[in-house]
Amino acid sequence: MKELIEDFTKHITESINISTSTSLNPFTGQLENVLICGLGGSGIGGSIISQVVANDSNCPITINKDYKIPAFVNENTLVICCSYSGNTEESLEMLEQAEAKNATIACVTSGGKLMEIAQAKNYNHIVIPGGHPPRAAFGLAFPPLFFILKNYNIISEDYVAQFNNAVNTINTEESNIITEAKTITEKLMNKIPVIYSDANYEGVAIRFRQQINENAKMLCWHHVIPEMNHNELVGWTTKNEDLAVVIFRNDDDYFRTQKRMEVNKTVFEKYTSTIIEIYSKGNSRLEKALYLVHLGDWISYLIADKKGIDVTEVDVITQLKNELAKI
């Protein structure tokens, strides 16, 4: 896992090269909405891209992480099925339903049944290298989504320059990122992380939560501001030093949200002494998101390493899949 995190920017560059060289069937029709289907490490890209391109997309982008697709899906919907292995049962069921509704379909995968279906039915698809844990393939699976949205005229920018800027920033800052990750790791040991972010960066918060779950084998939760100011903030009433607040911050967070964060800290500090603020770097939302994702990945790995546990082990998920296979 350490090597895969180290290769994050290499994965991004490799994926951009693959996506650029992949010939996609042109599309001249009119689409009304987009549904991105995927779960876990295969689905987080959809959560993040929907926020990154929010000001560029010409139609709604919905993320689906279930067996069933929404009723609005029809022949004017672009459905992007994402499954790193190509065999995720939920994604394959969603694909089948999308086909029944005559939706336009595109896929991102490394192989498996999804690739077989895409090839047999001539669906636009981008094939990325396989063999990694899905959560460690984010750098490979994320860029193709931008190329697909651009191919279907959902977004006007290609974002390649922003990806390249993010790669340069992360490579330049890598030693500082690792140093910061080590410091944060020490503060999070034997704690339950409570993760907060601006609503426009919720995908980043979700990614960090998932990485803490899978890599560090820890429970945690996340929420977004301002929504949590209307509910969860009231729950901060009991002193609990087992909790550690982690706030992802960006210079483009809405100014009133930034003020909320400052006020929220005065509440948190009454009940826990561990409050960690993580600031992004970059000039665009995409660059900042990738920076925070990479820093969060390092933290999750370093916690696991310090605990002396196997980062890649997901036996309980394997057990669940084995039980489902009996049905």
- One digit per residue, the tens of pLDDT, for the chain of length 327 reads 899 999 999 999 999 999 999 999 999 889 999 999 999 999 999 999 999 999 999 999 999 999 999 999 999 999 999 999 999 999 999 999 999 999 999 999 999 999 999 999 999 999 999 989 999 999 999 999 999 999 999 999 889 999 999 999 999 999 999 999 999 999 999 999 999 999 999 999 999 999 999 999 999 999 999 999 999 999 999 999 999 999 999 999 999 999 999 999 999 999 999 999 999 999 999 999 999 999 999 999 999 999 999 888 888 888 888 888 888
Q: What is the pLDDT of residue 28?
A: 87
Contact yes or no for 148/108 (Cβ under 8 A): yes
What pLDDT shows up at residue 214? Answer: 95
Q: What is the pLDDT of residue 48?
A: 97
Q: Supply the pLDDT for residue 145.
A: 98
Nearest one of 65, 17, 61, 41 to 149, comparing CA atoms: 61
Which entry of 90, 132, 150, 214 is annotated as an active-site residue? 214
* CA atoms of 327 and 323, how far apart (whole Å): 7
Same fold, 2-158 and 175-307: yes
Per-residue model confidence (pLDDT) at position 202: 98
In the three-class reduction of DSSP (H, G, I as helix; E, B as strand; rest coil), residue 119 is classed as helix
Domain 2-158 classification at class level = alpha beta
Catalytic status, residue 11? no
132 catalytic per annotation: no
Domain range annotation of the chain: 2-158, 175-307
What does DSSP say about strands 77-83 and 104-109: parallel, antiparallel, or unpaired?
A: parallel
Rg value, the chain, Cα = 20
Q: State both tokens at 117.
A: 């279906």
Of 157, 125, 127, 167, nearest to 55 (Cα)?
Answer: 157
At 235, phi and psi to the nearest 5?
A: -75, -15
Q: Across-strand partners of 197?
A: 224
The domain 175-307 is placed in CATH, from the list 3.40.50.1980, 3.40.50.10490, 3.50.50.60, 3.30.1370.160, at 3.40.50.10490
Among the listed residues 2, 182, 239, 321, the single catalytic one is 321
Distances (CA, A) of 294 to 181, 207, 251, 291: 10, 10, 18, 5
How far apart are the C-alpha atoms of 325 and 193, rounded to whole Å? 34
Question: What pLDDT does residue 75 have?
Answer: 96
Query: How far is CA 23 from each of CA 117, 119, 126, rounded to the nearest angstrom?
Result: 17, 13, 9
Give this prediction's pTM: 0.95
Q: For 171, list phi and psi in degrees, rounded to 5.
A: -60, -40
Helix count and strand count (H, E) for the chain? 12, 9
Catalytic residue among 3, 230, 262, 326: 230
Specify the pLDDT at position 314. Answer: 82
